[in-house]
Structure 1
């Protein structure tokens, strides 16, 4: 199994696991289906099958029916089956079925770090999960998308770098400049959200400590300026990233050619991904695997 097929398989597994997370809304799951559809080979064509038939009649929808459809979706990971699962899940949530109804939890904020002492730093669950798995590509991806978690300040990101270097000795490579990893701009007046997005892309090509530390500095300046998408956030209940939609709506078709490359290049600033990171767990892991698939 290649790294790509392994990541596709893992993204599918994590998405199906996220369906059982009561903290994840139907809107967030539908947003994630959109992202799955934008990356080639993640979704499969729908395969009608008398044994895997979709039953559109709500009286037959139960937790047992939902679990069987999850098994079928694992065998035919198609847009149609995923949307049907989300629709059934929402029906069971609204009905208040055990294991589906949202559970009110107290969301603990990420504790602010003293800039003079980072000894009490606690890595996010996403970082710990992928470090434990040991795959360098997904570890780097998980560290990179820490920039998306607006609960984290610059001190916590610096601490994350220090912790990561202790856990994974080869996490960073030497700084270099090349076609898809242009140089660092020292003039802070040129630091814009677009510049930040471009530097994130360059970091993918040249995952150096210099680039990562520079991104922390740029991000902090954008936060201080009050730039959209960079404002500090608390860890209150994440909101859906899109307006309420029926599960029968179809996601957009995957983009092709340069359009897909452009969309993928800035995908790490995606509001749907930011919301997923706030929730954590399987839905956040989906983000890591999807971004790892975009080269």
Structure 2
């Protein structure tokens, strides 16, 4: 009986793309084994996962059926479903959403028809374009992960990250939560005496569950403070150092051209590039999402 339940859970994990059904697996009554590192370390908790993480975690769970491995495997798969990773999209949900949006457009067209003719108007091109430019919950989740990753990127100037955050908030206010303090979200501490590396990471963990603009701005302040204090893990890494470029002969002309190119860019273009670069580093992000981001900011 126990093995049957275990097999059902593993089968559901492998084949279901329904987040609710996956979450319900945690409530199933089944006898778990103790965590055993012999089958590999638990996949690290992260802002972002990929298909390989899921496959590895599922194999580990099959070998060592413990509760903590089950939770992490479910977490990874739900993340991949939410960002619309290939092979992890719920077909029924996608079709239902498209049908609902299409029906809404049809209803609007019919509603706007004259009472005399009662004929349905054809789709308005701008309305159809808007339909496909709208951000889904998966898109917003991906954008959130991108911003979380930028917070840890030492090559990005904090002043520009601050402006980018405000810009994203103005375009996608629904991406952010209200500031919250509870047993899972530590309160913000404004006393700089307590701004340590450990404090930064604890607040960063809280930001994952309470993605508020106030908490994000606070973390930018803490990061800037730790950088100026000289903490090695928070020091700025210039783009030239990161890419291995130098000012030696033979490259000066190229460096000058790239410098002129950067100078010719507007601040808005720089911010968009920063966000697009972060999105591009995520394996499961589609080109369609990147184009939607560019279109939204222009």
Superposed pair shares fold, TM > 0.5: no
- TM-score scaled by length of structure 1: 0.40
- TM-score scaled by length of structure 2: 0.40
- Say which structure, 1 or 2, has more relative contact order (CA 8 Å, 6+ apart): 1
Comparing both structures, which one devotes a greater share of its residues to helix?
2
Which entry has the higher C-alpha Rg, 1 or 2? 2
